[in-house]
A and B are shown apart, each in its own frame.
Chain A
Amino acid sequence: MGSIEFEHVSRRFDNGAEGLHNVSVSFPEGSMTFITGHSGAGKSTFLKLLLAIDAPTRGRILVGGVDVARLPRRRLPLYRQQLGAVFQNHLLLARRSVFENVALPLRVVGIRDRDIARRVRAALSSVDLLDKVNLPPRYLSVGEQQRVGIARAVVNRPRVLLADEPTGNVDSNLSRSIMRLFRQFHQTGTTVLVATHDRAMIEDFGGRVVELDHGALIRDNGASQGQSHA
């Protein structure tokens, strides 16, 4: 998929507030980076722009050399199929089983049923949830739901994994377990970007940290910390 580059990216909202201000940063392919900052610093805006859910008012976001903000609408799904996204509120479908939730990205791209079954089981196995495969998410604990969200994010073998406060609702032990999962995916060559305000966890895991404040990039401890596996 290639590297991710933010070139002088700004995002000003309709009310005049600036979600991001002139942010320039790049993430090599296969790197793992924490994006941190206090609440409202612009972490979610950063990930939304990368997911092409939102578009910058200025600057360019290049993924593999392609300006994602300029992608035609019909190409956006194809772009998003290359990404995996994990959110604090999981975004699981309450009426579907764990299996169906995790299988969703595979159905979207038209994978055969037998391959879907194999890959979903592999993804659920990687998050230790094989025994919950037929349950609806409401029967799972918050941590388990989060892990289902992670399984869904990685089941399609994304080139980039984005996580927005993935440990926001879980205890410290589970946070570490989730972060270890991200580290494992990163070790397979996936580019991982984790937005979090949990500084203790960042310090525990180390690695590259990009810090935002009021939409501006105030700290980047460098690409050398990016642990590239490209």
Chain B
Amino acid sequence: MREGSRTEASPPEQELGACAVERRRLLAEGASESEPEGQAVREANCRRARKGALAAGNESLQASASVSEGEGVQAATRREAAMPWESARRPLGTFFRDHVREARESLAFVAGSAGTTLLVWLLMGIALGLPAGLYILQANLAGVADDWRGSAGISVYFQPGVAAAVPQALSERLRGEAGVAGVRLITSDEALAEFRGYGDIAGAVELLGGNPLPATLRVSFAAPVSAGAAETLSKRLRQEEGVDDVVLEQTWLERVASLSALVERLGWVVALVLGVGAVLVTSSSVRVALESRLDELRVLKLVGGTDPFMRRAFLYLGCLYGLGGAIFAAMIVSLTLVTVEQPLAQLLSTYGGDLELRGFDTTFVLVLLGVGALLGVIGSVVACRQRLRNLDILA
């Protein structure tokens, strides 16, 4: 088959083959590539062969091809002597078969050592859950800042006991000012009614014997205003009759934004530290599994198992540890969110906002699973690398 295809080769291909064979022959005989004389001889031989082949007919080409084939066999033999053990191409089917088997065996190992596996998952879950939780916190803080920046405004607190007409009048005046989107008046009675809604501390007001809460104006701007303009307005409002205090909501938002940035940085640091921790946890656990299968690894190495072949089962194991840890982390974060949901909703309602927790979505869970699996695999690689390299077959 091969000979046939060689015979049918086009003249230039045969020439190139003959030149290559001649070059290999000289190399095998010890002629140096850098030798000017040797190179000149080789090139002259190749030129002669090329010229001869072009001039010759089809018959001589075939003869040349058979000579070339013979020399090719010799060259192949020389190549075999240089590295006689070429690996056969592994069929794709067996490649997948091996992967399926290793994955199944790793699953069986995980199931067979439930106690250890749960411990590893819990450790991984904590290691992944903390940075994941910080991410959710940061995402929500950033979300609060984003949502409320556009409706940033000013809260005007009146002195307790001020006549109801005073806040009403100021409210009317502010509604007429340019750039003001809306003014919401919360009378002291409305504030008291709202306060009584907070079950735990509502009784405290009764002890005071009256209504200590002031009337409040919440002024919102139609468009984001500069800090300077907002400050000028707040200064002017402080001069108004009956006004006790003026609070720029922008300041609060800036604090939220700063806190968000802080949490983000903290999250990265924690993620880095705990990521290394997660790798070490997986690495130690995989190392234990590896030690328990040393006999098998020794035999595999003896019969010519490559490191990737021997490592495969442990990569799946690390991956399973990581995935399990990520699921635990998602559960931890989810439980935390459920726990803080009610008080957070109450807090947000005092600022007129609705609770809308962000970050914990399908993408978050998928990324968490991916990161968990990746850290697990890295841990496995770390464990296998050193152990397999130093594995003594006949220990």
Stretch at the interface among A101-109, A124-132, A168-176, A213-221: A101-109
Pick the contact of A91: B302, B305, B309 (CB < 8 A): B302
The distance from the CB of A140 to the nearest CB of chain B, in whole angstroms, is: 16
Whether A48 pairs with B84 at a CB distance below 8 angstroms is no
Query: How far apart sit A78 and B298, CA to CA, in the bound complex (Å)?
Result: 16
Whether B94 pairs with A110 at a CB distance below 8 angstroms is yes
A152 part of interface (Cβ distance < 8 Å): yes
Proximity bits, B198-240, A CB within 8 Å = 1, else 0: 0000000000000000000000000000000000000000000
A2 and B84 in contact, given A93-B295, A108-B300 (Cβ under 8 angstroms): yes
Stretch at the interface among A5-13, A32-40, A80-88, A202-210: A80-88
Query: How far apart sit A53 and B248, CA to CA, in the bound complex (Å)?
Result: 77
A85 and B84 in contact, given A48-B394, A93-B296 (Cβ under 8 angstroms): no
Whether A156 pairs with B93 at a CB distance below 8 angstroms is no
Query: How far apart sit A85 and B82, CA to CA, in the bound complex (Å)?
Result: 24
Number of A-B contacts (CB under 8 A): 91
A222 part of interface (Cβ distance < 8 Å): no
The distance from the CB of B320 to the nearest CB of chain A, in whole angstroms, is: 19
Interface residues of B in 214-273 (CB under 8 A from A): none
Measured as residues with beta carbon below 8 angstroms from the partner, the interface class of chain A is 35 or more
Whether B94 pairs with A104 at a CB distance below 8 angstroms is no
Cβ-closest chain B residue relative to A84: B303
B40 part of interface (Cβ distance < 8 Å): no
Query: How far apart sit A85 and B298, CA to CA, in the bound complex (Å)?
Result: 13
A residues near B, CB below 8 A?
Answer: 1-2, 48, 51, 53, 64-66, 74-75, 77-83, 85, 87, 91-96, 104-105, 107-113, 152, 156
22 A-B interface contacts by CB (under 8 A):
A2-B81, A51-B393, A53-B393, A64-B80, A65-B81, A66-B82, A75-B85, A77-B304, A79-B304, A80-B304, A82-B304, A85-B303, A91-B299, A93-B299, A94-B295, A105-B303, A107-B98, A109-B88, A109-B304, A110-B90, A112-B94, A152-B303
